[in-house]
Structure formats: C-alpha cells, structure tokens
Amino acid sequence: MKDALYPLAFDTSPLTRGAQEYLRNENIRLVVDYFQSKGIKSLKRQDREELWYADWIDYQSAHRLYATLLTPKKYSRFCGQFSLVNLTRFLEAFAYFSPAHAYSLHTTFLGLFPILMSSNEKLKKEAIARLEDGALFAFGVSEQAHGSDLFANEFAVRKTPDGWTADGAKFYIGNANAAFIISILAKKVEAASAGNPAKRAPFVLFALRPRESSAFQNVQKIRTLGIRSAFVGGFEVRDHKFSDADVISTGRDAWDAVLGTVNLGKYFLGFGATGICAHALTEAVDHLQKRILYGKSVVEMTHIRTAIAVAFARLCAMKFFAFRALDYLQVSCDDDRRYLLFNAVQKAKVSTEGVKVMGLLSECIGAKGFETDTYFESAIRDSLLIPSLEGSTHINYGLIAQFMENYFSGAGHDLRAPDSLVMQDDDPGEHPYWFEARDRNAKTVSFGDCLQAYEPLRELANVKLFIAQVEGFREFAVAGTSMLNPTSDIGLAIAIGKCFAIVAYGQLVAENCRIANIPLPTVSLIFHGLVEDMSAESLRLSAMFPSDGAQQTQLRNVVQVPRTSASDMAAVSDFLMARYAK
Ligand SMILES: Cc1cc2nc3c(=O)[nH]c(=O)nc-3n(C[C@H](O)[C@H](O)[C@H](O)COP(=O)(O)OP(=O)(O)OC[C@H]3O[C@@H](n4cnc5c(N)ncnc54)[C@H](O)[C@@H]3O)c2cc1C
C-alpha cells in the first residue's frame, strides 16, 4: 500500500515511509526545517500574542516557496509550475506545523488566481514577477454587512473620463496588511449615481496595490479565535484612481473568476484540515502512551483505544477522499466535470470531519489538550475555523444536492475512473483547463455507475451495509425528490445534500481504499463511520416528512447499524500504536 496516503507524522522514529516521501520534496523539507528550528514554544507565543510572522514571509520569499508552487509554467522564470500534488501536499504539511502561517499561502492563491484566469497579460506578468520576488496577494470579496450575499455588496467603481475611481470597504480579508496586490470585487455604478449600487449592477474585479495607493486606509486586524498570528483584516478605499490596465475582468468574466477561484481555493483548505488533525493525533497518541493511570498506560483502556482508532479511521477517510478528489480535478475538462461535485463535497465535509476527529481526540487526551503550549490546543481552535473560512457549508450542501439526479442516473458510464496522482511517480503537471473553467452547471455533469467503487470491498460487512444505504437513498432520491423541488425549501435541500454528500464521499474513499490496497480492518472501520453518519443524517431527513408519508418508509431502509468485529478494531488500534511509537 501507499504509505503517503495515511495521515502525516513528522515526529515518529523512524519516520514513516509516507513522511519520507513528502520530505523528498525540497519545498516541504524547507517548511519542516523552518518550523522544527523555530520550535513549538516560539510558535505558541506568536499565536498568543497575535504576532504577524514577518520572519516566515522573508523565509518563504528567500526560497521562493509560494512562487514555485503557484506560478504556471508558462510565466515562471524559475522552473515553477502549478502542480496539484505538490501544492496540496505542501498545504497539508504546512498546516501540520502552523495553519496560521499556511493561511498566507491560501490567501495568496485566492488573490492571484483571478488574475491568472483573466486575459490581462500585462497584469499577469507583473503579478508573477512580484510573486517570484516573494510578494503576497489578497482576495477582497467579503464585506462586513453582506457575508455570502455578494450581490448586496456595496464596494463601487465608477468609470471616469480618465479611467476609474473606487470607493468602499472590505472585511475579513487575509493578508490585508502585507499583500502587494489585492484583487477586489466591486460593482460598476453610473458616474452620476450617488447612492449604493443596484443589486444587479455589473461586477468589476480590479487590482489594487495598497503600498502604492494613499486611498487605501484604516487597515484593522480582526481578532479571530484561530489562526491568530495570521492577519485577517478590514480596510477602506477612498477615491482610488486606476486605469484599464488594472482591471482584471468585468461582468460575467469577473463573476466566473470569483467562483472559479473560490471553487479551487477553498477546496484546498481541506488538505489543511488533514494536516491539523494529523499533528493533533500524533500529540494525543504520544501523550496517552506515556500517561500512566492505575499502573498502566492510558492507551490500554479499551474505550480510549477504540476512540483513537475511530479518529484515525475518520482522518484516513478525509485524506483518501481529498487526494482522490484531486485525481478528478487533474483530469477535468469540458466533457468531464465530475470534480465540481467532489470539490463541493470536500468543502462541505472534509473540514467538518476534521472537527469530529478533534472532538474524538479531545475526549481522550483530557486536560493536556487544553494546555496552551501544545499544538493540540490551537488545533482545536484552528480546525473549527476552517469550515467558516470555506464560506458557508450550508451553501455547499445545497449545491451538492443539485448533482444528485445525474449522479444516480449513471449516464456517464463511458467516463473512466482517473489514474491516481499519489500512486504514480511522474507528475502530469498543470492543465490549462483549471485557468479557463467556466461551466459550473450541475445539471450537465455526468457520472458513471456509483456502486462500482465498492465492488472489490463488498464482502466487508460495513461496506455491504453502506451499499444497502446507498441503494435505499437512491430509491428515495429517484422517487421522492423530483416532486419536492428542493430549491423551494432550502432546509430540505441542505438535509438532502448532507445525505448525498456522504454517498459521494463514500465513493471516493472506497476508490482510494482499493487503489492503495488499504488493509481490510481499516476499511471496515472507515465504513463503520460512514454507516453511522448515513443513518444519523437520514433520520434527520426523515423527520422533515409526515410520519405516514412514503418518504419516511423509503428512508427507513437507509438506517443501518454498523458491525465491526473486535478483531478488526484491535488490528487498527495495534497498527496505529505501532506507527506512532517514538
Ligand atoms: C478567518 C476568516 C478568513 C477569511 N478570509 C477571507 C478572505 O481572504 N477574503 C474574503 O473575501 N473573505 C474571507 N472570509 C470571509 C468568508 O468567506 C465569509 O465567512 C463568507 O463570506 C460567509 O460570510 P459569513 O461567515 O459572515 O456568513 P453569512 O453569509 O452571514 O451567513 C450566515 C448564515 O447563513 C447561511 N447562509 C448564507 N447564505 C446561504 C445560502 N445561499 N444558502 C444556505 N445558507 C446560507 C450560512 O451558512 C450561515 O450559517 C474569511 C472569513 C474568516 C472567518
């Protein structure tokens, strides 16, 4: 099996084969060197005092880390290329040490990508040259009063005889203190108009260089529960003059660039969630192995062993899903847009699974996990923040529900399952489609037979139960939802989306279990969690229908009780205790 698919661990001795594979990448080695020499004490002080990490920014700049990861080959002066597997492994390892530091890279991606998606070649070249000099970028979309409702945004630009002027304020903007360029979403209002822009005024995305504009004012840090040493801030722009050369895109192109950027950028956050949980797991196991109560190690208590094994299995599933979704993204093209569903599932589910993993580990680790000099303590806070950073999980569940009809129809039977990026030695490199993708229509995406993924695993009791749940839910979906028109009841669409997200999640997890030949006890425990989740969510969904209605009867078949043998549980537990030995 491929060890690199398991949760990362940089603290075991000897290092796992997976960690060794990550360390073969020069950029990851540089990250590990930086954080290991900095030390947890210094990191936690920076976190407590909410100190900006200027030393890290200098370090990444000196080694051109962000530039190597984010520059498309065509524009790179230094052999950079936009490789999905390099970027996502880097983000995972980065969050393993500090999600707060990693946030500056996430936001740099968000600020840069709309420029790369545009046709403004001069701006692209300038942006890449600056990135290669070590500059950071920012993505200025959110406004304090409007959250997810981007059509209500008030930041306005006006066309003038000499160019444009911009006025407005943004809130919750990462890197607002240090970005060389902020890509700002504004609305175009008529020159004479004095009031707020109309709800449907056309969008304009433009590049603002804070250091070169006195109109950029009142930058304030927003103090957040997690990622405290990062800078998330608000700012105002008053009468900023700019020319057409700074326009990134307008109208439909601007909207597509924002959605395309968020679709990829927020999907990448899931890799951070796996890194955070992986580090918390290593700390928890280390503490519990050393903690002696009643004359023996705490990990010998059955319920603690079980809870840690369950957390490990959930974390494996997060990583198996995330890296399989990457394979679909790698092969995406006009005729194969399955990645749209899997990206949305990742945004809604992987980081919320991370919150569950942290909950399970917190139950076991006890007081130690709340001591502020541990990684664990900030992992509790940072893992909670990621689902919010991703925007609204609710919106993602609503979106996921829109793919359901096509997913179950299986009309795309000639679509091939993509090769695994993690299993191959050669990186296929970047794909122009990622910079051009515009079509996000869920109703025109095709999928193959959704049950095929389970074929080689179906003898396992928990997989068999999960297949029965998928079949039961498919019956409900086919018979019940067309007449429901989910968009008319947002709560119902979200509840359906939550069930369906587990189905899509299970498919990709199963695919990676098979591809990487994961030992069967681990597969069984992973599917134990999926059966549990599917039962819980379908019960919640059932309660939204009348007790004598057909839907409750259909959904009754979806509720199942997982069955994991004591020997499977012990096998997973023994495997992970041996793996995390120091
Ligand atoms: C630490 C941090 C960093 C961030 N960094 C950036 C950044 O760099 N750039 C940037 O532009 N933004 C950034 N954001 C903003 C982030 O994208 C917002 O959280 C997002 O815009 C949603 O706004 P909100 O959280 O205020 O929720 P709101 O939009 O106020 O939503 C409130 C509730 O309504 C629900 N809801 C809203 N709309 C819908 C819908 N259509 N369907 C179903 N449910 C819905 C939500 O799920 C939520 O429960 C950041 C946020 C945080 C916390």
Statement to judge: residues 520 and 555 lie in one domain: yes
> 125 CA distance to ligand 1 centroid (A)?
31
Q: Which of 165-174, 231-240, 472-481 has the lowest mean pLDDT?
A: 472-481
Q: Domain ends where: 136, 167, 201?
A: 136
Model confidence at 80, in pLDDT bands (50, 70, 90)?
A: confident
Task: Tell which one of 388, 487, 492 to mutate to probe ligand 1, the residue whose CB is within 8 A of the most ligand atoms.
Answer: 388
Task: Quickly list DSSP for 187-221.
Answer: EEE-TT--SPPPTTPPEEEEEE-GGG-TTEEEEEE
Confidence check: pLDDT of 193 > 60: no
Structure tokens at 135: 């500059």
Do 76 and 184 lie in one domain? The reply is no
The confidence score (pLDDT) of residue 410 equals 85
Residue 66 counted as domain residue: yes
Does pLDDT of 215 surpass 80? yes
Using one digit for the tens of pLDDT, what is the confidence trace for 151-191?
A: 999 999 999 999 999 999 999 999 999 999 999 999 999 85
| pLDDT for the residue numbered 2 | 83
Angle, helices 490-515 vs 393-401, to 10°: value is 80
User: Does residue 93 line the site of ligand 1, with CB under 6 A?
Assistant: no
In terms of domains, do 99 and 142 share one? no
Band (pLDDT 50/70/90 cuts) for residue 61 is very high
* Residue 19 sits in the same domain as residue 131: yes
| pLDDT number for residue 394 | 82
Tokens of 66: 């962000």
Domain count of the fold of the chain: 3
310 is a domain residue: no
Ligand 1 pocket, residue 385 CB under 6 Å: yes
- The more confident residue out of 440 and 574 is 574
The mean pLDDT value for 120-144 works out to: 97
Least confident residue range of 9-18, 415-424, 429-438, 531-540: 429-438
pLDDT above 60 (res 271) = yes
Element (H, E) at 174: strand 163-174
Buried/exposed 12-22: b ≥16 CB within 10 Å, e otherwise: beeebebbebb
| Structural element, H or E, at residue 562 | none
Q: What's the confidence (pLDDT) of residue 194? A: 53
394 CB within 6 A, ligand 1 = yes
Check if the beta carbon of residue 515 is closer than 8 Å to that of residue 453: no
Task: Give residue 198's pLDDT.
Answer: 72
Lowest mean pLDDT among 14-18, 422-426, 482-486: 482-486
- Residues 442-454: what's their mean pLDDT? 94
Percent of the chain predicted with pLDDT > 90: 84
How far is the centre of ligand 1, averaged over its atoms, from the C-alpha of 426 (Å)?
A: 38
- 196 burial via Cβ count (<10 Å: 0-12, 13-18, 19+): middle
Q: What is the pLDDT of residue 9?
A: 94
Q: Please, which pLDDT band fits residue 487 given cuts at 50, 70 and 90? A: low
Kindly report the CATH number assigned to the domain that includes residue 34.
1.10.540.10
> In this structure, are 54 and 124 located in the same domain?
yes
Q: Kindly state whether residue 325 falls inside one of the protein's structural domains.
A: no
Q: What is the pTM of this model?
A: 0.96
503 and 547 part of one domain: yes
- The arithmetic mean of pLDDT across residues 242-249, rounded, is 98
Q: How far is the centre of ligand 1, averaged over its atoms, from the C-alpha of 391 (Å)?
A: 4
Q: What is the pLDDT of residue 34?
A: 98
DSSP secondary structure letters along 484-549: T-GGG-HHHHHHHHHHHHHHHHHHHHHHHHHHTT--HHHHHHHHHHHHHHHHHHHHHHHTTS-TTS
pLDDT digits (tens, 9 = 90+) for 344-395: 999 999 999 999 999 999 999 999 999 999 999 999 999 998 887 766 778 8
Say which residue, 444 or 191, is predicted with more confidence.
444
Decide whether any atom of ligand 1 lies within 6 Å of the 72 Cβ. no
Domain assignment of residue 557, yes or no: yes
Q: Is residue 456 part of a domain?
A: yes
Listed residues 97, 112, 136: the one ending a domain: 136
Q: Are 50 and 172 members of one domain?
A: no
CB distance 233 to ligand 1 below 6 Å: no
In this predicted structure, what is the pLDDT of residue 346? 95
Contact 289, 395 (CB under 8 A): no
115 and 142 share one domain: no
CB distance 69 to ligand 1 below 6 Å: no
pLDDT at 482: 56
Q: How confident is the model at residue 249 (pLDDT cuts 50, 70, 90)?
A: very high
Over residues 331-344, mean pLDDT: 95
Q: Are the C-beta atoms of residues 161 and 150 closer than 8 Å to each other?
A: no
The last residue of a domain, from among 202, 236, 255 = 255
Mean pLDDT of 397-426: 90
Range of the domain at 528: 393-412+447-565
Q: Is 294 part of any domain?
A: no
Question: Is residue 342 predicted with pLDDT exceeding 80?
Answer: yes
With respect to residue 21, please indicate whether it lies within any of the assigned structural domains.
yes
What region does 239 belong to: left with phi over 0, alpha with psi -120 to 50, or beta? left
Whether residues 399 and 536 fall in one domain: yes
Question: Both 145 and 113 in a single domain?
Answer: no
pLDDT at 116: 96
Q: Is the CB of 372 under 6 A from ligand 1?
A: no
Predicted pLDDT at 256: 94
- Note whether 492 and 484 are within 8 A (CB): yes
216: domain CATH number is 2.40.110.10
What number does the ligand 1 atom closest to the CA of 232 have? 3
What pLDDT does residue 268 have?
96
Please provide the distance, in angstroms rounded to a whole number, between the alpha carbons at the two ends of the chain: 22
Q: 178 and 124 in one domain?
A: no
Query: What tokens appear for 162 in the block?
Result: 């000499």
Indicate if the alpha-carbon torsion angle 275, 277, 278, 283 is positive or negative. positive
Average pLDDT score over the chain? 93
Site to substitute for ligand 1 among 104, 172, 496, most atoms within 8 A of C-beta: 172
CA of 153 to the centre of ligand 1 (A): 13
pLDDT of residue 376: 98
Same domain, 76 and 115: yes
Q: Is residue 292 part of a domain?
A: no
Which distant-in-sequence residues (6+ apart) come within 8 Å of 332 by Cβ?
Answer: 338, 339, 431, 433, 434, 437
Q: Is pLDDT above 90 for 503? A: yes
- Give 341 Cα–ligand 1 centroid separation in angstroms: 20
Kindly report whether the peptide bond that precedes residue 519 is cis, defined as omega within 30 degrees of 0.
Answer: no
Which residue, among 319, 387, 265, 343, has the nearest Cα to 504 in the 3D structure? 343
The residue contributing the CA closest to ligand 1 atom 26 is 147
